[in-house]
Amino acid sequence: MTEQSRNRGWIVTFSGTGINLALGVLYAWSVIKAAIETRIDAGAWTWDKASLNDPYVVALVVFAFMMIPGGRMLDKWGPRITSSVGGLLVGLGFLVASSSSSLWVWILGFGCLAGSGIGLAYAAATPAAIKWFPPRRTGLIAGLVISGFGLAAAYIAPLATHMQRSYGIGSTMLILGLIFLVVVIGLSQLLSNPPEGFKPQETTEQTATKASAAPVDCTWKEMMSTPAFWLIWFVFFIGAGAGLMVIGAANSMAKAAFAETAWLALTVLALGNAAGRIIAGSLSDKIGRKATLVAFMLFQAAIIFSLLAMPKDSATLILLVATLIGFNYGSNLTLFPSITKDFFGLKNFGLNYGIVFTAWGVGGFVLARVSQMLFENTGSLDYSCIMAGSLLVLGALLALMIRPPKTRPAN
């Protein structure tokens, strides 16, 4: 890899990180939801509280499934155009949501339009970056790019809290929409794929060691015909869904300890989320993806089970647990793209990972919705914690069964 190529690779990497810093508004939903709930309690908005998470879970599903056309757009038009269209849709979605107090308008704006834009822009950033670097850096580069998405809530949560108190929820959504539109489209202009035939340089020893294990590029049909794909998909469903149901309830868990500053726990969770993505990616480059995945899922299960016995009014414990939950959950978003690339190759990575990523959306939709219903019916988060922890243990056991495809298509 020449110095010029290396520099270009880092420009693409950190541009992708910046784009994800804007797209990660999803993780600030707890703050937005709290503002909406206050208006429902005051009689100003007429939403059913059981539907409070609906714009959020619709955004998760749309985001996930838009990764598939996003992958196709990436292969055909490149990361710059794909991400720019995504930024336009995110901004438009926030503008639509800002104009109304209707649940259905919020589902259209925040859920469908913004969710679509996030899916397209997110699909473009990581593949563009990792193509510039050798396989030994796949986990680290993926972790750096994706860390922006997790870190976003660290600034969006306090910013949105301050803005909605000062200007109201409508103006807050309007301003955020305009900012995201400019930032995402602007940074998208720095994204690019390497030139045709480009190969990142490895040392002789690294090339010899990895040559026999180099993945053959699979099409999406070939990928989906393997048992490995379905195990990967279901483990991702569990890891992402269990984490998202806890993150979606983070503001509720923090209220007892922090009252008006409950956003602080979400901010700390975001810092842990970003750190987990980078550390898990780097660690997986050294000890392997599967070992890292199993370790993080079991640790996450232990942390979530600890919530059952933890005093709900302890600020120190709330911050510690929020950090660890974010740290462990964030590992999923680095490990699964890396696993997909390792098993099924880089040529069709955009589309292939888009299909794998549907597990994130389905898991988030199903488990976040179930968590909200359990809380409304019982008034307690304990049942959500028991379900999430148990599923994570199951996910770790299933992860042990993941094996590379026995047969692979010829080039």
The stretches of 288-348 forming alpha helices (DSSP H) are: 289-306, 315-344
Residue 207 has pLDDT above 60, yes or no: no
Using one digit for the tens of pLDDT, what is the confidence trace for 69-118? Answer: 998 898 889 999 999 999 999 999 999 999 999 999 999 999 999 999 99
User: Longest Cα pair distance anywhere in the chain, in angstroms?
Assistant: 69
**Of 11-20, 88-97, 142-151, 229-238, the least confident:** 142-151
Residue 288 has pLDDT above 80, yes or no: yes
> How many of the other CB atoms lie within 10 Å of CB of 288?
14
Residue 10 has pLDDT above 90, yes or no: yes
* Residue 215: strand, helix, or coil: coil
pLDDT at 369: 77
Name the residue with higher pLDDT: 113 or 327: 113
Residue 211 has pLDDT above 70, yes or no: no
Q: What is the mean pLDDT of residues 155-172?
A: 85
Using one digit for the tens of pLDDT, what is the confidence trace for 120-158? Answer: 999 999 989 998 888 888 899 999 999 988 888 788 878
The stretches of 78-137 forming alpha helices (DSSP H) are: 79-98, 103-106, 115-130
pLDDT at 3: 61
Q: Mean of the per-residue pLDDT values for the chain? A: 84
> How many of the other CB atoms lie within 10 Å of CB of 282?
17
Q: Where does the pLDDT of residue 206 fall: very low under 50, low under 70, confident under 90, or very high at 90 and above?
A: very low
Name the residue with higher pLDDT: 266 or 330: 330
Using one digit for the tens of pLDDT, what is the confidence trace for 330-361? Answer: 888 899 999 998 899 888 888 899 999 999 88
Using one digit for the tens of pLDDT, what is the confidence trace for 182-203? Answer: 999 999 999 998 887 777 766 4
* Domains in the chain: ranges and CATH: 3-191+216-399 (1.20.1250.20)
Using one digit for the tens of pLDDT, what is the confidence trace for 347-404? Answer: 888 889 999 999 988 887 788 778 878 877 887 778 888 888 999 999 999 999 998 8
Helix (H) or strand (E) holding 63: helix 54-77
